[in-house]
Amino acid sequence: MSALDKDTVKNIAFLSRIEVADEKLEPLAQDLTKILDWVEQLSEVDTDGVEPMTSVAAQTLHWRQDEVTSGDQPDLVLKNAPDQTDHCYLVPKVVE
């Protein structure tokens, strides 16, 4: 595994929607590279023909009736909103 460069880390940060200051990119790249180098050991395990585990519990999901079970509580839903008006969340202007 080659080391992550600053541009790659910048892109990962954007995909994660976390702002990272330019001067922090380099140390972060080193940190992440160290972790990725360490997990690289997994490549030595032979996994040919092994099914990936998608559920740890050996069970199938149950069906239920497709019906409304709760809702119509806009005040409760919005109780923790940082900014709101008329039962709507407020965000910065996205369309000019």
Partner 1 sequence: MTKLTNLTLAEARDGLKAGDFSAVELTKAHIDAMEKHKDLNAFITETPELALEQAQASDAKIKSGDAGAMEGLPIAMKDLFCTEGVRTTAASRILDNFIPPYESTVSGNLKKAGAVMLGKTNLDEFAMGSANITSNFGAVKNPWGENVGKDLVPGGSSGGSAAAVAGGLALAATGTDTGGSIRQPASFSGIVGLKPTYGRCSRWGIVAFASSLDQAGPMTKTVRDAAIMLQSMAGYDVHDSTSARVDLPNFEAALSGDIKGLKIGIPKEYKVDGMPQEILELWKKGEEMLKDAGGEVVDVSLPHTKYALATYYIVAPAEASSNLARYDGVRYGHRAEGELKSLDDLYMKTRAQGFGEEVQRRIMIGTYVLSAGYYDAYYAKAQKIRTLIAQDFEKAYEQCDVILTPTCPSEAFGIGENEDDPVKMYLNDVFTVPTSLAGLPGISVPTGLSASGLPLGLQLIGRPFDEETVLRTADVLEKAAAFSAKPKMLEA
Is residue 56 involved in binding partner 1 (CB under 8 A)? Answer: yes
Q: Residues 23 to 42: which contact partner 1 by CB under 8 A?
A: 28, 31-32, 34-36, 38-39, 41-42
Task: Name the minimum Å distance from CB 90 to partner 1.
Answer: 9
Bridge-based pairing of strands 88-89 and 84-85 is antiparallel
Residue 88: what are its φ and ψ, rounded to 5°?
A: -130, 145
What does DSSP assign to residue 49? T
16 binds partner 1 (CB under 8 A): yes
Element (H, E) at 85: strand 84-85
Q: Residues in the chain, how many?
A: 96
Contacts to partner 1 by CB under 8 A: 9, 12-20, 28, 31-32, 34-36, 38-39, 41-43, 45, 47, 50-59, 61-62, 64, 76-77, 79-83, 89, 91-92, 94
